[in-house]
Structure 1
Amino acid sequence: MPDEDGYFGESVAAGYDESCAEMFEAGAVGPAVELLAELAGGGRALELGVGTGRVALPLARRGIEVHGIDLSRAMVDRLRAKPGGTAIGVTIGDFATARAPGSFSVAYLVFNTIMNLTSQDAQVDCFRNAAAHLAPGGRFVVEVAVPDLRRLPPGQDVVPFRVDGERLGFDLYDVATQSMSSHHVRVVDGRGSYESVPFRYVWPAELDLMARLAGLRLRDRWDGWTRQPFTSESRQHVSVWEKPAG
């Protein structure tokens, strides 16, 4: 069961950066920061689910004022302990509903974080919350996987995503409810650990409808941060919705 920090309490926060080390590499972070800095222009940026600052810190180093919202105090403590971390304003709360001070040129959700909201209502609320934070003409950016249901043969509901000598990972799908859970088994120094995190997968067209309910319109959709074309073979997308300037 989650604690007051949700599913990202102390036990997860303590090893989060190491467990997601590949996502902290320059090749993963750099293109995201480049695009978000461009969209922010001279304005402020709001990260929903700021975590330990993987994107917020390098974006702030580009001269962008960044504010974050996050439910997990344990994750935010790691952000605060990093160089430049105290300069990132953070609102503790559920990013689907919590309000940060002021307005922003860009709001963003990265690394599948929209799926941490495990109901359609919560995801709709998130779009409305992002839109409420945006100045006219502002953009809301979401990076998320395309549901990988084509890998499910009839009668199967499990898709492995990592199998090696130290870690086993698999996703369990319920196609009737769009709920899923990621299961992680790790072996370190001969000792095993297990954790499971719930998600709700969401389709690109469904996100577009959520955006329209929030008064936003799709501006761009790419396969990734370097703006490759989004196609039927894409396994993820970076989408940008815009708040009307009028």
Structure 2
Amino acid sequence: MRQEDVWDVETARRYDTPGEGMFAPELLHATVDRLAELAGGGRVLEFAIGTGRVAVPLAARGVDVTGIELSRPMVDQLRTKVDESAVPVVLGDMATARAPGQYALVYLVFNTISNLLEQDEQVRCFRNAARHLLPGGRFVVELGVPDLRSLPPGQDAVVFHNADGYLGVDTYDVLHQRLVSHHFTFGEGRQARVGRSPHRYAWPAELDLMAQLAGMALESRHADWTGGAFTAESGSHISVYRLLA
């Protein structure tokens, strides 16, 4: 399952859910507030910019935002919101593609680093972020904490969300640190629409080592965009790394 096949025209068309889920106003406002604060008035680069969920409102704040994105259909969807002059985008892999110039902040949100399915790719992503940063610049990663404690012996799947018309199931390959998220959307009929996306999960300590290999160090880690304390029970984290001078 290639990422190019996952993020196709249909996925791009259905990706935005205005006012709900990751597009909930309170979540977006907190995300944009924190990123604008971390940017400190400098230029910003988003890895895997997608349809511009975060970049568009960030740019509307007056922040100079550039993106890197692998999927042409996702960029096409972004272009229905803003043009190239407002938010320029480089087509390419976030682990290797280069955007022009240097930045005060590079960010990677909503579990997207897990779309890189090999540890080496994730390490290259950290190094690519470091290449784009000004001295002392920051790299922000938002990632879920692996939910392995929910797996009883002999079971390799866990329901991560259940709501009217939707069921989300993750299947784990603990040997290779992989999971596949299965998204089942259904109505009153017998047929359901199924979407799948593969991921490589990583623990916070593993990301810290990737940062060290790229010449960065952990500056802060919180459970959410409002600065909640990260604990053993946190389901995700916002980690901020600073490029060492």
- TM-score, with structure 2 as normaliser: 0.95
Looking at structure 2, the residues matched to 30 and 18 of structure 1 have their Cα atoms a distance apart, in angstroms, of 15
Match of 1:178 in 2: 177
Which region of structure 1 is more displaced relative to structure 2, 234-243 or 156-165? 156-165
Q: Distance in 2 between matches of 1:41 and 1:163?
A: 39
Cα distance in 1 for residues equivalent to 2:11 and 2:85: 21
Equivalent in the alignment of 2:76: 77
Q: Which residue of 1 aligns with 2:115?
A: 116
Aligned length: 244
RMSD value, Cα:
1.6
The 1-side partners of 2:134 and 2:51 are apart by: 26
Q: What is the distance in 2 between the residues matched to 1:89 and 1:68?
A: 6
Distance 2:5 2:122 in 1: 16
SS at match of 1:87: coil
Task: Check the 8 A contact 1:104/1:134 in 2, yes or no.
Answer: yes
Aligned AA for 1:194?
V
- Report % sequence identity: 54
Any residues of structure 2 matched to 1:25-174 within 5 Å, and which?
25-83=24-82, 86-174=85-173
Is the CA contact 1:219–1:241 (under 8 Å) kept in the aligned structure 2? yes
In structure 1, distance between residues paired with 2:43 and 2:226: 22
**Structure 1 gap segments, 5+ residues each:** none
Q: Does 1:230 align with 2:230?
A: yes
1:152-202 deviation per Cα after TM superposition (whole angstroms, max 9, x unaligned): 111111010122341221000111110100011211463421121100000
Letter in 2 for 1:59: L
Q: Give the TM-score, by structure 1 length.
A: 0.95
- Structure 1 runs (4+) deviating above 4 angstroms are 83-86
In the TM superposition, what is the alpha-carbon distance from 1:19 to its structure 2 partner? 8.8
SS at 2:17 equivalent = helix
Deviations 1:13-39 (A, max 9, x none): 110113993211211111111111011
Moved more, 59-68 or 11-20: 11-20
Q: Tell me by how many angstroms 1:241 deviates.
A: 0.4
- Note the C-alpha offset of 1:123: 0.3
